[in-house]
Chain A
Amino acid sequence: MKRLINIFGVVLTATLLSAGVAAAASLGLSSGQLSAGSVAVAGCTSSSLTVTRNVDNNGNVTQVSVLSVPQACAGETLAVTLENGTHASLAGTSTTVGACTGGCTVTLSVPGSVSAANLSFYALSLTG
């Protein structure tokens, strides 16, 4: 009986640990990168919204703009990471989406000097 209880304890440990890790893995985040479409969206959008950026005359990115953000996203946090060709972060910025009529353009300032020539990817997230 004593041995049975100990075996039960080991099995329970493994089960709970697996459940926790499985929950993390279901988000597709084991690589350290968010992957689109693997998380249930609770509302404001499930679209991959388009990003544009402005540059200064030296070719450095000064602002990024996320287009057509639905009104339902007001109050959520919009985060944008600028990445190079190997997905290394060049800069990051975030803001709270404000209220607007219809789809709105959310513009964020980009800190530092990020050369547009080095920019290859945007990674974005909306969290409530």
Chain B
Amino acid sequence: MHRFRLTRPRLVTAILIGSLSFVGVAYAASLGLGSGKLHAWSQTLTKGTCNQTSATADDTYVQQANPTSTSGGTDSNLNIGGAAGSQDYAFIRFDLSGCSLPTTAGADNAALTLTVTTKSNDTISVFPVFSSWSSSTLNWNGLGGLTIGSTATTSFVPSNPGALTVPVTADVDAAIKAGTLWGWELRDTSGTAVSTVGSSENNAAGKRPSMSLSYEK
């Protein structure tokens, strides 16, 4: 029987074996093998655009001084007035059903483009609308039946005639998840002037409301 002797080469070999195997096992453990309970996956997003024109727009304005009037639905401009007793609130929305977005999709960026046709220095606040309306039936007396956000999404001052861009990304993102976009109420929150923006019935196509939308799904 050969008797095993611990010589220097054998000791070095043993240390080498121990060290290298430890490195390998430690590498595996660092990747989560030791947890024994790991599920990993990924999700790829598809990007796209679905810009909106007056073809998918609906808009109107309601008049405090004419509380049963629905004439704002066919006017070529939308009035936004702040004078006590004769306020005008404008409403704009777009039908996104043609975009075929699932409720798990979202807006990356959305911006409303309006054309100021009568300027003022008043602040116009943009409030999200969460319930259905139609330009053919909405009037001042119908405002009480609408659900309108209490906080403005954004605001602007129509101090110059021409096009202006209003960011509405958060509202459109939320609307995609809700399944329907009911648009915005535009209200004068600082003065008594009357401003106007082009409506979807405006004879000049370039003055009608539009909305750019880039999305992910």
Contact = CB atoms under 8 A, between A and B. Distances in A.
Contacts of B39: 36, 39, 41, 44-46, 125-127
Contacts of A12: 17
Interface in A20-74: 20-21, 23-24, 27, 29, 34-37, 39-46, 48-59, 67
Given A29-B31, A121-B43, A57 B24 contact: no
Interface in B150-197: 153-154, 167-171, 173-174, 177
A86 interface: no
A20 B21 CA distance: 7
Contacts of B174: 54
Interface stretch (B8-16, B84-92, B131-139): B8-16
A10 B13 CA distance: 8
B213 to A, nearest CB: 11
Contact of A59 (B16, B38, B47, B169): B169
A53 B170 contact: no
Interface residues of B, number: 48
Nearest to B2: A1
A9 interface: yes
Contacts of B17: 9, 12-13, 16
B42 A36 contact: yes
A117 B108 contact: yes
A26 B26 CA distance: 14
B40 A124 contact: yes
Contacts of B170: 54-57
A127 B38 contact: yes
Contact of B169 (A9, A56, A124): A56
Contacts of B45: 119-122
Contacts of A42: 36-37
Contact of A39 (B25, B40, B214): B40
Interface in B15-60: 16-17, 20-21, 23-28, 31-33, 35-45, 47
Nearest to B16: A13
A125 B39 CA distance: 5
B82 interface: no
Contacts of B108: 55, 59, 115-117, 119
Interface of B: 2, 9-10, 13-14, 16-17, 20-21, 23-28, 31-33, 35-45, 47, 104-109, 153-154, 167-171, 173-174, 177, 214, 216
Interface of A: 1, 5-6, 9-10, 12-13, 16-21, 23-24, 27, 29, 34-37, 39-46, 48-59, 67, 76, 115-117, 119-128
Given A57-B170, A59-B107, A121-B45, 18 more contacts: A9-B13, A13-B16, A13-B17, A16-B17, A19-B24, A39-B32, A41-B37, A41-B39, A42-B37, A54-B106, A55-B108, A57-B154, A115-B108, A122-B43, A124-B40, A124-B42, A127-B32, A127-B37
Q: What 5 pairs between A and B have smallest CB-CB spacing?
A: A20-B24, A16-B21, A128-B37, A34-B40, A9-B13
6 contacts: A17-B21, A36-B40, A39-B40, A54-B173, A125-B41, A127-B35
